[in-house]
Amino acid sequence: MKIDGGISAHLRSTAASAKELERLGYSGGWTVETAHDPFLPLTLAAEHTEHLELGTSIAVAFARNPMTLANIGWDLQSYSKGRFILGLGSQIKPHITKRFSMEWSHPAARMREMILAIRAIWHTWQTGEPLAFRGEFYTHTLMTPFFTPDKRDLAEIGTPKIFLAGVGELMTEVAGEVCDGFICHGFTTERYLREVTIPALLRGRAKAGKTLEGFEIVGPSFVVTGNDQHEMNTAADATRQQIAFYGSTPAYSGVLELHGWDDLHGQLNSLSKQGKWAEMGSLITDEILNTFAVVGPPNHVAGELHRRYGDVIQRINFYAPYE
Please check whether residue 261 lies inside any domain of the structure.
Answer: no
| Amino acid at position 168, single letter | G
Q: Please report which confidence band the pLDDT of residue 323 belongs to, taking 50, 70 and 90 as the band edges.
A: confident
pLDDT computed for residue 76 by the predictor: 98
pLDDT tens digits for range 100-119 = 999 999 999 999 999 999 99
β-strands 139-140, 133-134: how paired? Answer: antiparallel
pLDDT computed for residue 103 by the predictor: 94
Q: What is the CATH number of the domain that holds 203?
A: 3.20.20.30
Decide which of 178 and 322 is more confident. Answer: 178
Q: Please report which confidence band the pLDDT of residue 310 belongs to, taking 50, 70 and 90 as the band edges.
A: very high
Query: Which distant-in-sequence residues (6+ apart) come within 8 Å of 174 by Cβ?
Result: 108, 111, 112, 115, 164, 166, 204
pLDDT computed for residue 67 by the predictor: 98
pLDDT computed for residue 73 by the predictor: 98
pLDDT computed for residue 48 by the predictor: 98
Please check whether residue 185 lies inside any domain of the structure.
Answer: yes
Could you list the beta-strand ranges (E) of the chain. Answer: 2-6, 28-31, 53-56, 59-60, 84-89, 133-134, 139-140, 161-166, 181-184, 216-219, 222-224, 293-295, 315-317
Domain with 116, as residue range(s), is 2-228+296-317
Q: Please report which confidence band the pLDDT of residue 251 belongs to, taking 50, 70 and 90 as the band edges.
A: confident
Handedness of CA 124, 126, 129, 130 (dihedral sign): positive
pLDDT tens digits for range 253-302 = 999 999 999 899 999 999 999 999 889 999 999 999 999 999 999 999 99
Please check whether residue 105 lies inside any domain of the structure.
Answer: yes
- The answer to whether 59 and 86 are in contact (CB under 8 A) is yes
pLDDT tens digits for range 5-21 = 999 999 999 999 999 99
**What is the average per-residue pLDDT within 78-88?**
98
In 3-state terms, what secondary structure has residue 222? strand
Please check whether residue 89 lies inside any domain of the structure.
Answer: yes
Residue 209 has pLDDT above 90, yes or no: yes
Q: Please report which confidence band the pLDDT of residue 221 belongs to, taking 50, 70 and 90 as the band edges.
A: confident
CA 316 to CA 323: how far, in whole Å? 19
pLDDT tens digits for range 29-77 = 999 999 999 999 999 999 999 999 999 999 999 999 999 999 999 999 9
Residue 92 has pLDDT above 90, yes or no: no
Please check whether residue 276 lies inside any domain of the structure.
Answer: no
pLDDT tens digits for range 147-173 = 999 999 999 999 999 999 999 999 999
pLDDT computed for residue 318 by the predictor: 87
CA 116 to CA 288: how far, in whole Å? 38
Please check whether residue 265 lies inside any domain of the structure.
Answer: no
2 beta partners:
315
Number of domains present in the structure of the chain? 1
Please check whether residue 49 lies inside any domain of the structure.
Answer: yes
Q: Give exposure, 196-231, as e/b (b: 16+ Cβ within 10 Å).
A: bbbebbbebbeeeeeebeebbbbbbbbbbbbeeeee
Please check whether residue 283 lies inside any domain of the structure.
Answer: no
